[in-house]
Amino acid sequence: MARVHVCSVADLPPGEGRRVDTTPAIALFNVDGEFYAVADMCTHATASISEGYLEDDCSVECPIHTARFCLKTGAALCLPATEPLQTFAVSVEDGEVYVEVAQGEGA
């Protein structure tokens, strides 16, 4: 695994998400100060999960067909998506956010 620096904590306020142009692209979210990273490409069709809508239960709603995914596990919580999103471990150190990606992947 490789640890990739993705942004500063100050760059992503609570309740917001952003796309990180790693390979594959990652959607990074700040949920009340906790950071979660999932694959940015929806498993149903072509949509950027980082442009989705955060829900109160730590899930994100796809902006195209409104499937919801758990940000903790990546699980698809409702149709039309049935396959989970890949999840990535996130760490915060000295105000900087890092994501673990497989070797060969990364920015």
Residues near ligand FES, by CB under 6 A: 42, 44-45, 47, 62, 64-65, 67, 80-81
Q: Closest CB to ligand FES among 36 and 69?
A: 69
Q: How far is the CB of 43 from ligand FES (least distance, A)?
A: 7
Q: Closest CB to ligand FES among 82 and 91?
A: 82
Q: How far is the CB of 82 from ligand FES (least distance, A)?
A: 10
Instruction: Tell me the C-alpha distance between 71 and 86, whole Å.
Output: 10
Q: Is 105 exposed, middle or buried (0-12, 13-18, 19+ CB in 10 A)?
A: middle
Record the tokens describing residue 12, joined without a space: 């992503």
Q: How far is the CB of 33 from ligand FES (least distance, A)?
A: 27
Those residues whose C-beta lies under 8 Å from the C-beta of residue 103, and which sit 6 or more positions away, are: 1, 2
Q: Is 2 exposed, middle or buried (0-12, 13-18, 19+ CB in 10 A)?
A: middle
Q: Closest CB to ligand FES among 61 and 96?
A: 61
Q: How far is the CB of 100 from ligand FES (least distance, A)?
A: 24
Q: Closest CB to ligand FES among 1 and 45?
A: 45
Give the single-character DSSP code of 10: G
